[in-house]
Amino acid sequence: MIERKHIAAIKLAQKDACLDDESYRNILMRTAGVSSCKDLQPCDVDEVIQAIKSMAVRKEGWQSKQITKFRQYGKFAGMDLVDLRTFLYDNAGIPNEESTFLKQEHFDKLMAALEAELEFRIAEKRVAMPRGIDISYWRNRRPGLGKINTRERHLINALRQDLAAYLPEGKKDEAYFRGIVEKAVRRRISSIENLSSVEALKVIECLKNKLEAEKKRLGDEVPF
């Protein structure tokens, strides 16, 4: 017979290894020829514990606190669970935040992308700025993920096309557009691909204001 401390150590190893009772008993039988740890001999304890550890079920996926944080930022951005999972799939190719395929690198990338999406929606006045958070926290941790994203790139190009419809021919070229972008970000750029996510939002706001101004200008010029 073994002592209580040995039984407790074996049960803890089973719990840590996430083994069900059937798998656990199979190990006892295979290792020591018993179906209950109470029937083990003291000399069998270490061997049983090592056998249990070797059969540990790998715990993949995000921790519960990571899932909670991801969902929290989704709510900040005005997303319901369907929207959030669509966002997850679009950015990681995985449909559910509880998937065992998710890793730490996914979390870092997705939180930075979700933060950029949140900032985009705040700039659009679709949601309010959440209190008590640093809007650039996740992107500052992974600076490379703070660059312009697909959604921002698409919106800039769409606004550029809309604006071109209201501009005279001499202002529809690349130089004029680049001038708008550089004025918005206060630096010289060779392509919008060089913009950060924060700069992309400034360009979007500038293009929207320019578009509204051109619409108003043309409206004022139309004779009644």
pLDDT digits (tens, 9 = 90+) for 22-54: 888 888 888 888 888 888 888 888 988 888 887
In this structure, the chain runs to a length of 224
**59-86 pLDDT per residue, tens:** 578 988 899 999 999 999 999 999 999 9
Task: Classify each residue of 50-75 as buried b or exposed e, where b means 16 or more C-beta atoms within 10 Å of its C-beta.
Answer: ebbeebeeeeebbeeebbebbeebbe
Nearest in space to 17 (alpha carbons), one of 51, 46, 66, 57: 57
The answer on pLDDT for 5 being more than 60 is yes
Instruction: Take residue 100 and report the two structure tokens written for it.
Output: 């065992």
Residue 146 in this model has a pLDDT that exceeds 90: no
DSSP state of 222: S
Residue of 1, 10, 8 lying closest to 47 (CA atoms): 10
Dist. CA 120–CA 123, nearest whole Å:
5
pLDDT at 143 over 70: no
Residue 110: both structure tokens together: 């997705």
Both tokens of residue 64?
């519960």
pTM of this structure: 0.47
pLDDT class of 224 with cuts at 50, 70, 90: very low
Instruction: Please state the rounded mean pLDDT for residues 91-120.
Output: 87
Residue 103: Cβ within 10 Å count: 14
Q: Report in angstroms the alpha-carbon separations of 206 from 123, 161, 163, 202.
A: 11, 14, 11, 6
Instruction: Give the residue with greater pLDDT, 16 vs 11.
Output: 11
Coil/strand/helix, residue 147: strand
pLDDT at 198: 74
Contact 102, 62 (CB under 8 A): yes
% of residues, the chain, pLDDT over 90: 25
Asked if residue 107 has pLDDT above 50, the reply is yes
